Amino acid sequence: MRVIAGTCRSRQLKSLNTPNLRPTSDRLRETLFNILSPRISGAYFLDLFAGTGAVGIEAISRGAQEALFVENHPPAAKLIRENLTALGIKSGAAVLQLDALAALEKIQQRQKDSVFAYDFIFLDPPYAAAEQYLKVMDFLAAAPFVTTDTIVIAEHTRKFELPEEFAALERVRVLKQGDAVLSFYRLRPVL
């Protein structure tokens, strides 16, 4: 597994050999960031269920101003920190070792009195944890740090179809590659 492009291009990332950790493939990350590239420079990126941190690290490598990695599994959270250190990423990155919903609540509390919003939110729970998609997407549909400019991307398997809508969050694009699917969501504009 490697960083595809940007300042850390071609640098290798460490991974864990655990059955629950399924990193986003290099090919799928490349496709994802080809889509996001016009808006990634200076962006704020939230990587939920971050695993190895490959997606958020790719965002930083390509010019994102900040990436927040949320990972509950202690060895994986440690691995993200090791990957950031090995790549020399000293600023613009933070790791929250919390359950995704607890982390989202913490982010919401921190952002309570500000107008801060994430540009991109990426989530990739273990495929077997289907209920996590629904809980997180429902939370994001009402979160103050999600605006009409925010793009929420959920990686899931072809065998698991996500709903078209989560309250005001509606699916605007689907990209299929192998067994993986990326579903892109945006908030409906208020008229």
Closest by CA position to 129, among listed 15, 16, 21: 21
Distance CA 62, CA 107 (A): 24
**pLDDT of 81 strictly over 90:** yes
Residue 22 has pLDDT above 90, yes or no: no
Tell me which of 79-88, 95-104, 123-132, 145-154 is least confident. 123-132
Q: CA Rg, the chain, in Å?
A: 15
Q: Which two tokens stand for residue 168?
A: 């005001």
Question: Could you give all domains of the chain from N- to C-terminal order, each with its CATH number?
Answer: 26-187 (3.40.50.150)
Q: What is the pLDDT of residues 44-78, one digit of tens each?
A: 999 999 999 999 999 999 999 999 999 999 999 99
Confidence check: pLDDT of 97 > 70: yes
Please give the full DSSP string across 89-136, using - where no structure is assigned.
--SSEEEE-S-HHHHHHHHHHHTTTS----SEEEE---TT-HHHHHHH
Two tokens, residue 179: 């067994």
